Structure 1
Amino acid sequence: MEYVYPIVGLVAGMALVATSVFTAFIYTPTTASTVDTTITAFTGVTLQIGDFLAVSSATAIVFDLLATQLGVQYPLLVPFALGYILTHVIIYYSSLHITDVQSQPLDPDFNIRENPLQLITLSIPGALILLPAGNRRQRNR
């Protein structure tokens, strides 16, 4: 029962990141209209809140398991600093990859059916770091 909140936070965070990536995948803002601004803000906010929830929940679970199962105790500053760094690095690289996904709207050479797991992979916090940035550009040549 003690892991209910972190697990719910992890699932909710991953769902928000998935929503952000899916929104970026299906809609590319092209103007400075209110709709484009709203969708861009929605994408950014869901990415940041989702990533924060997922990383902080995972950090809480890992450090609690280290303390209870292995008896390894760390000062509170260690999980805080690790979570802070991971959150910012993941958001930075995720934003770069979301921008890459949006850079070729309705690209006829891009077929999600070739690699349907790519969209699912984009939904996992931190997985955007693992996707090669040049992968999309190479297909367009």
Structure 2
Amino acid sequence: MEYVYAVTVLIAGLLLGAVAVVTALTYTPYGASTFDTAITALTGITLQLGNLLSISALCAFLFEGLTMAGIHYPIIVPATFAYVVTHITVYYSCLRITDLQAEPLDPDIVIKHNPFRALVLGVPGSLLLIRVRPPSGRR
């Protein structure tokens, strides 16, 4: 019962990340209209909140496992670890989602090995699965 919150938060974070990726894959904001601003805000908020929730839940599982293994630590250790990992993941995810949002559904953006990984890209850090082909079309 004590893991229900962490599992729920993990699932919610993954879903929010998936919403951000699907939004970035399907729509490119072209100007400063209210609609474009709303789509950009939706993408950014869901991506960052999804990463925060997912990483928090994963860190909770990690440090609970360490505690069960008999490794004891002060509370500042998991808090600092989660803070650093969240910020690094959000930073790189935002860079990748910006690249992805610039050219949605562009054939030059390749999702390695499986096109259905677009939904998996909501997982923190998985935006690294995307690579962009060079402009010349070489692979």
TM-based fold match above 0.5: yes
- Which AA in structure 1 matches 2:134? Q
Moved beyond 6 Å, runs of 4+: none
* Distance in 2 (alpha carbons) for counterparts of 1:127 and 1:94: 8
Which shows bigger deviation, 100-109 or 14-23? 100-109
* Distance in 2 (alpha carbons) for counterparts of 1:126 and 1:110: 17
More strand by share: 2
* Distance in 1 (alpha carbons) for counterparts of 2:94 and 2:110: 22
* Distance in 1 (alpha carbons) for counterparts of 2:125 and 2:109: 23
2:10 touches 2:57 (CA, 8 Å); kept in 1?
A: yes
State the SS of the aligned residue for 1:72. Answer: coil
Give unmatched runs, 5+ long, in structure 2.
none
Match status 1:73 vs 2:69: no
Match of 2:5 in 1: 5
5 Å matches for 1:1-141? 1-68=1-68, 70-109=69-108, 115-128=114-127, 130-131=128-129, 135-138=131-134, 141=137
Deviation at 1:115, TM superposition (A): 3.1
TM-score scaled by structure 2? Answer: 0.88
2:17 touches 2:50 (CA, 8 Å); kept in 1?
A: yes
Aligned pair in 2 of structure 1 residues 34, 140: CA closer, same or farther (>3 Å)? farther
* Distance in 2 (alpha carbons) for counterparts of 1:76 and 1:10: 21
| Identity between Structure 1 and Structure 2 (%) | 49
1:25 touches 1:101 (CA, 8 Å); kept in 2?
A: yes
More helix by share: 1
- Which AA in structure 2 matches 1:5? Y
Give unmatched runs, 5+ long, in structure 1.
none
CA RMSD after TM alignment? 2.2
Number of equivalenced pairs: 137
TM-score scaled by structure 1? Answer: 0.86
